[in-house]
A and B are shown apart, each in its own frame.
Chain A
Amino acid sequence: MADALAVYARLISAQVRSQLQYRVSFALDLAGTFLISFLDFIAVLIIFDNVPELDGWTLHEVAFLYASTCVSFAVVDVVIGHLDLFPRMIREGTFDLILVRPRGTLFQVIASDFAMRKLGKVLQGVIVFVFALGGLEVDWTAGRAAMTLVMVLAGAAIFAAVWVAGATIAFWTVDGGEFTNAFTYGGNFMTQYPISIYGEWVRRFLAYLIPMAFVCYFPSLYILDKPDPLGLPRALQFASPVVAVAAAVVAGVIWRSAVRRYRSVGS
């Protein structure tokens, strides 16, 4: 494990050095993602310019939900967002090179890139988070503070699991990128708002099928001390870490069986 982390650090630092070879393009990318990601939040501001509350949520509460989802997602996007390009690895045969090296396949795919330019998104999330904290009236107990950290970590794990599971579609279709995007980027977009604003079937889909509601919504109910408009069991508000572990295990199993299938049927 320690050795794997050390190798990961080396591979990523190689990626970082590669990207820094093109300094201007890197700086522009970074500034670009930083600014563009604010457009998302401007949409939230526009909504609240028209209504004082969204389904009982104030601007700062939605900003809190938005920002924590955003940080979870952006961190994952930086670390494994290149799984979007996984279909190309299959098509061009680069995945074969991964199979002849003495490390796990998923490990190598993840360690093959690191999108520093997307750090702009993380930064944007952090700024909105600070903005949200400034306007919240929350009694910050140790429990709530710890829950906030757990929420972001568990959220990241859930996003990562969905991303990995989605990427395996490439083993079947060679090109399933867009389909996967609907779940990753789409899931991120939808969970930036309280899920109670959606119709019932969307809600069920988000809550249980791809467990996006556990990313930040349920824990936020606890942290912000809000009543659950859907009247679901209170235990759900603490279930995110469990859901995250389960999602990671499921994604791992899907990945393994997909690799096994690739090795038996070819591409």
Chain B
Amino acid sequence: MSAAIELEDVRKRFVVRAKRGRLRRERRVVDAVAGITLAVEEGELLGYLGPNGAGKSTTIKMLTGILVPTSGRVRVARLDPARRRIELTRRIGVVFGQRVQLWWDLPLRDSFDLLRHVYRVPDQRYRENLERFSALLDLEPFLETPVRQLSLGQRVRGELTAALLHDPEVVFLDEPTIGLDVVAKQRVREFLVELNRERGVTVVLTTHDLGDIERLCSRLVVIDHGRVIWDGAIEELKRLYGRERTLVVDLEEPEPPLEVPGGRVVRVEGPRQWLRFRGDEVSAAHLTAAVAARTRLVDLAIEETDIEEIVRRIYRGGADA
């Protein structure tokens, strides 16, 4: 196996000019990416995440040849994206969740046909791919519909197909499931798993959706302030944080922190208490029953540990933080 993506001490420095007062302008240097070293094997499905402004999209832009790094070495599909942008575009596929690359007023099929010519995809290969993706993503019912009339879910399926028609080796997906309903999300996830399994395509996925990461990725890289703060198997992360949930209970009156087996009070505010527990060890029902057995319960809610929270905790350095 060889690496599909390599980064060696990659940095990207921006000079930001901010207005300070009427005439004065402050020149500030920001290291959006402050030395990232990373290797992604061919066929790997990598989750790449971090809070907003952590340097995620700057990294993706350097990997796709949009931005040139300030220093460090980058290789994607064995090419240097900064120097060989056009060659690289044929080996990668990109979906930016928030930007439409399809032709808005034309039937979906026309967009595919135009991209086929832009990328010079051989006819035979184009037909095979379109047929396969149509089957996997069920595109047939809306291939002749103008893109502007598609639902968000249909459009995302179209965008994915558009990014894959030229048989890229590495695919970058930026928030591909954002805004989708549960069914549409599921469909996109199944497609990505199939794509990865069937064609061995390397996938880099940035997302805020823990569900995407859990179902798709075998490995997770978390960055913050331009640095890698976690790099490891998803199982490991789950073992440490992912299974943690929080039971929020409203009691009739303020009480000292409850003592319940399997749960640990992490916060008390008047009659409200937050109990953290491990979802793989204790069920929420069991814990609720235990609380109800000890005191009078008025209301309750369960909070899942979201990715932002996990990142925050990783950043502080430890599961118990």
Do the beta carbons of A7 and B68 come within 8 Å of each other?
no
Which A residues between 14 and 55 are near B, CB-CB below 8 angstroms?
Answer: 14, 17-19, 21
State which of A59-67, A89-97, A212-220 sits at the interface with chain B: A89-97
Q: A22 — nearest CB in chain B belongs to which residue?
A: B105
Q: Considering only CB atoms and an 8 Å cut-off, how many residues of chain B contact the other chain?
A: 31
Do the beta carbons of A99 and B85 come within 8 Å of each other?
yes
Do the beta carbons of A264 and B105 come within 8 Å of each other?
no
Distance (whole angstroms) from the CB of A177 to the closest CB of chain B? 21
**A100 CB–B CB distance under 8 Å:** yes
Q: B116 — nearest CB in chain A belongs to which residue?
A: A10
Q: B110 — nearest CB in chain A belongs to which residue?
A: A14
Do the beta carbons of A266 and B96 come within 8 Å of each other?
no
B residues near A (Cβ < 8 Å) are 14-15, 58, 61, 64-68, 82, 85-87, 89-90, 92, 94, 96, 99, 101, 103-106, 110, 114, 117-120, 146
Do the beta carbons of A100 and B92 come within 8 Å of each other?
yes
Instruction: Decide: A263 near B99, CB < 8 A? Known: A99-B85, A100-B92.
Output: no
Distance (whole angstroms) from the CB of A126 to the closest CB of chain B? 29
Distance (whole angstroms) from the CB of A101 to the closest CB of chain B? 6
Which of A3, A21, A97 is within 8 Å of B120, CB to CB? Answer: A3
* Bound CA–CA A168/B66 (angstroms): 17
* Bound CA–CA A96/B14 (angstroms): 17
Do the beta carbons of B119 and A102 come within 8 Å of each other?
yes
Do the beta carbons of B67 and A14 come within 8 Å of each other?
no
**A6 CB–B CB distance under 8 Å:** yes
* Bound CA–CA A21/B146 (angstroms): 10
Instruction: Decide: A100 near B117, CB < 8 A? Known: A18-B103, A265-B15.
Output: no
* Bound CA–CA A74/B96 (angstroms): 35
Do the beta carbons of A100 and B114 come within 8 Å of each other?
no
Q: B148 — nearest CB in chain A belongs to which residue?
A: A21
**Can you offer 24 A-B residue contacts whose CB atoms are under 8 A?**
A7-B117, A7-B118, A11-B118, A14-B106, A18-B105, A18-B106, A19-B105, A21-B146, A94-B99, A96-B61, A96-B66, A97-B94, A97-B99, A97-B101, A99-B66, A100-B65, A100-B89, A100-B92, A102-B87, A102-B90, A263-B68, A263-B82, A265-B14, A266-B61
Instruction: Decide: A93 near B119, CB < 8 A? Known: A10-B114, A11-B114, A18-B106.
Output: no
Do the beta carbons of A100 and B66 come within 8 Å of each other?
yes
Contacts of A97 in B (CB 8 A): 94, 96, 99, 101
* Bound CA–CA A18/B92 (angstroms): 28
Q: B119 — nearest CB in chain A belongs to which residue?
A: A102
Distance (whole angstroms) from the CB of B95 to the closest CB of chain A? 10
> Top 5 A-B pairs ranked by shortest CB distance?
A18-B105, A102-B89, A99-B66, A100-B94, A263-B68
